[in-house]
Every structure is written in C-alpha cells, then in structure tokens.
Amino acid sequence: MKWTLFVLLFTPWVQAQEVTAFVDVAVVPMDRAGVVEHQTVLVAQGRIQRIAPIRSARIPANARRIDGRNKFLMPGLADMHVHFVREALPELPPALANKAPGAPRIPASASPDHERENRAYALMFLSNGVTTVRNMWGSPTIDAFAAEIRSHDVAGPFIYSTGPITDGNPPMWFSSRVVETATEAEAAVKADKREGYVAIKVYSLLSSDAYAAIVTAARKEGLPVVGHAPRSIGLEGAIAARQDSIEHLDEFLPSLQPGGRSAQRKPFADALRDMDPRRLPGLARDIAAARIWVCPTIVVRDLPRTDPVWREEASFVPPSVFERYARMYPNIAAGTDPRSTPRAHEVDLSIVAALHNAGAQLLLGTDTPKPGVLPGYSLHDELVNFVSAGLSPYEALRAGTVEAARFLGRSSDFGVIAEGRRADLLLLEANPLDDVRNTSKIAGVMVVGRWWTAEDLRKSLIALRASY
Ligand SMILES: [Zn+2]
C-alpha cells in the first residue's frame, strides 16, 4: 500500500528527472526561418537543456535516446482559442427553459461529463502536436484539470485560461458573468486576477459604459482584455480602447459597410453582399498601429464533413459533445449558416490577408469544439487557411508558436527551440517549412519533458473511445 503510494507520487518526478536525447535531428527553431541540421537536443527536468551539433554533444549514458535521423523537431503548436468543458450548469431559470425571445441561450461548453470530455480533448490536442492552448471561458473545473496535467497525472497540453465570459444584461449565453456597473467591472477584474487567469474575456453584448469600466479596471490591475469586440462599440471602439486581442472576424463586416458601421445591424448575408473591400486596408492599418492581436479562427464556421477521415477523427469526441453543440449552433450543424459559404470563407481570407499585409499581429486559433471543428485536427486546417491568406509556412507557424508565447508574455517558457525553454516539442517526418501540412506527419510529441510516440497517443485515443 505504502509502496503503491510512493510510486504514484514519484513516477512523474522520476520521469521529469531523466534525460532525453533527440539524436541527429533537424531543428526548426522558429526564432528564425530555416532548419539547423544534425543536432542533438537534450531535455532534462522538463526543459531543453542543451542543443549542439551531433559531433560535440555529450549524451549521458542513462539518457533515453530518440532517433532523429530524417526527422524535424519544432516547438509544439499552440491553439490560442479553445473551450474546455466546465462543470454542469446551475438549474435553468424558467425564461430560459421556455426559450423566451431575447433570453440567454444555453452554452454547450458545460457538462456533468466534463472529466471524460476534457480528457478526450486533451488527448486529441496532443495527438495533433498541440502542446499549449488558451482556454477562453475559465472555471474552477478547468483550473483543476490544468493542474492535473501540470502534475503529470493526466496527459494534455499546457493550459492558459482567461476568466469567464463577461457580458452585458441579458448576456448572450446563460451562466456568463454579467457586468453593468463600474463596481461590478472592478470586482470582475480583481476576481480574475486573484484566480490567476491570463486575461479578462469581454463579450458581444456588453454596454459601452461597462466595457469602458472593465478596460479601466483591467489597466489598473495590469490584466489584459481579450475577447469579442462588443457590438455597442464595434471594432473601432475596441481599437480605440486598445483591446489586447480581438477574437474571431465577426465584427469586421459591420465596419466594412459603405459609409461605415451603423447602429442598425444588417443580416449577415446582406452585410456580406454590401461590403466595400476598399475599407479593409485602412481598418487593418488601424489594428496594426494599435498593436492589437487578432485571433481570426477562420475554421469556426467549417461544416461537419461526411468523409471517412473526418468520421474517424470525430469518433474520438464523446457523442454527447456533438449533441450539445448541434443545439448551440443548429445552423452550422444543418449546413445552413450563411457564414459557412465559400464566399464568406473567401472574405475571411481577405481580412487575414489585409491584416498580414498591414503588419498586424496574428494568433492561430480554432474555437474548438464546434459542430465542424475538432480539438487538434482543426488547428492544422487553420494553418492551411493562414497560408491560403498569403502567409508563408514559416509565418503561419509563428502565429501558433513564437507569437503565441509573445502574446501571453511567456517567451522565456515556450514557442521556440532554445536552451532553457519548456520541452514542448513536436517531432515530424517532414519539414513543416516546406509545407504546413507536414505538421500532421507526427512521429512523437513531448510536453514538459514527457514523451509520447504517435503510436502511444493513437492507442490511448482508441482506448478512450471504447469507453463512450
Ligand atoms: Zn470561443
């Protein structure tokens, strides 16, 4: 009994203590374009300890050796917009149960089955080389899950989390935190700071006064403000406030209407038809000049597919997740969302292209899960979207590695392959700088020094699926 406890407590520690050597690997450092061939990378205590040419590298006799020949070692990928599962929702108020018009809708990112669902997401992220995520609706349940991953009790990516969604009254989603006054704004910011969240997350239905109060309070506490540009102020208002990151592209279209944004919001299809692309470069320049980051999540409107590849990937998600998300986004699930058309996708790409050309700071993110967006797999689709928008593979990969770390103020922890950084690594069969699709050719993944081969991860996913 005592011995079992000892093993349970100390196994992670033992693993963190051992030395791993990637021998004769091509390093893709990501702090500069290009590859450094024939390197040995030593990992100890969860960090990259030494990088040296194979001839001069001394490998400790007890080190675990991983053959790196004809393989490429890059920093693990970061999905900068995800939703892990929160605890089950409190009892629904009657208005919501009756679906009264204007009442908040029921979010899908909460479930009594959060533990199993989060484990599935976490494994799907790892299987796709995603070693870092930014979770966009923080909760005690997810904080506890992140701690389990950090202590190596559960396999998963490193989780940075924002506070809960902070919205107006009524909010878009039931169980959001509502802020209407300056006192509430200060309390919300202080609470998020105290909980260790990386930012306060603002949402679409905040009033302009509540938003301004949140920004003021957050600046005072040194807490970043991220999220949607509230409709009350639009993109222009978020730019003026220098919101730290703007999530999704939804607020661009209203600002691209001939004559600019108006109080009356057009239906999406009309706004798409009427948009004036000549307004785009100026808007992108304003965002770049304000040093605002944009996390476009182009994949968010992707439709669920029917091909065998998709069906296999989607089979790793517990079915209850799809049931809830189909209720949350019935139009995407049914394939009738006007934002899921080729024309809407083309406009999304043109917005990202304009932002890139203006020198705006971009983050790679997916908003997973959604009816057509899967943890891990969809980040590879977003990489392809970035390249379609005109970024080079190197630039697209930066948005999901070194730029993600810079945005979070964690450049000394992750994002590049350099001595002293966390050993969050992705070993690939082909060079990702030649083609971003090569990031799917995974040989193995390391998170904080803990190593899994692609085969290990696949077996774990299949075992988990068998429990659904
Ligand atoms: Zn989201």
Distance in Å, CA 213 to ligand 1 centroid: 23
- C-alpha span between 352 and 315 (Å, rounded): 31
Per-residue pLDDT of the chain (468 residues), as tens digits, is 334 444 444 444 445 458 999 999 999 999 999 999 999 999 999 999 999 999 999 999 999 999 999 999 999 999 999 999 999 998 888 888 888 888 999 999 999 999 999 999 999 999 999 999 999 999 999 999 999 999 999 999 999 999 999 999 999 999 999 999 999 999 999 999 999 999 999 999 999 999 999 999 999 999 999 999 999 999 999 999 999 999 999 999 999 999 999 988 999 999 999 999 999 999 999 999 999 999 999 999 999 999 999 999 999 999 999 999 999 999 999 999 999 999 999 999 999 999 999 999 999 999 999 999 999 999 999 999 999 999 999 999 999 999 999 999 999 999 999 999 999 999 999 999 999 999 999 999 999 999 999 999 999 999 999 999
Distance in Å, CA 293 to ligand 1 centroid: 15
Distance in Å, CA 354 to ligand 1 centroid: 23
Structure token pair of residue 321:
């997740």
Distance in Å, CA 436 to ligand 1 centroid: 24
Distance in Å, CA 414 to ligand 1 centroid: 23
Peptide linkage before 369 cis (omega within 30 of 0): yes
Handedness of CA 167, 173, 177, 181 (dihedral sign): positive
Into which CATH architecture does domain 2-75+415-466 fall? Answer: Roll (2.30)
Distance in Å, CA 136 to ligand 1 centroid: 6
Distance in Å, CA 69 to ligand 1 centroid: 39
Alpha-carbon dihedral angle through residues 105, 108, 109, 111, given to the nearest 10 degrees: 110
Give the position of tokens 């009524």: 170
- Nearest-CA neighbor of 53 among 37, 69, 33, 70? 37
Residue extent(s) of CATH 2.30.40.10 domains in the chain: 2-75+415-466
List Cα–Cα distances, 414 to 62, 349, 393, in angstroms. Answer: 26, 28, 19
Distance in Å, CA 349 to ligand 1 centroid: 19
> Who surrounds ion ligand 1 at CB < 5 A?
136, 367
The confidence score (pLDDT) of residue 15 equals 52
- C-alpha span between 308 and 398 (Å, rounded): 31
List Cα–Cα distances, 72 to 97, 253, 353, 379, 413, in angstroms. Answer: 53, 40, 28, 19, 21
Distance in Å, CA 26 to ligand 1 centroid: 35
Structure token pair of residue 289:
């000049």
Distance in Å, CA 240 to ligand 1 centroid: 23
Q: Determine contact, residues 428/441, Cβ cutoff 8 Å.
A: yes
List Cα–Cα distances, 379 to 78, 110, 375, 454, in angstroms. Answer: 9, 22, 8, 17
Residue extent(s) of CATH 3.20.20.140 domains in the chain: 77-408
Distance in Å, CA 446 to ligand 1 centroid: 26
Amino acid at 272: L
Distance in Å, CA 165 to ligand 1 centroid: 9
- Nearest-CA neighbor of 85 among 62, 61, 108? 108
The confidence score (pLDDT) of residue 17 equals 57
Distance in Å, CA 228 to ligand 1 centroid: 9
Distance in Å, CA 82 to ligand 1 centroid: 6
> Is 77-408 CATH 3.20.20.140?
yes
- C-alpha span between 329 and 334 (Å, rounded): 9
Distance in Å, CA 83 to ligand 1 centroid: 6
Distance in Å, CA 423 to ligand 1 centroid: 27
The confidence score (pLDDT) of residue 6 equals 41
The confidence score (pLDDT) of residue 1 equals 34
Core vs surface per residue 429-450: b (16+ CB within 10 A) or e: ebbbbeebebbbbbbbbbbbbb
Adjacency order of strands within the sheet including 130-135: 77-82, 130-135, 158-161
The confidence score (pLDDT) of residue 102 equals 84
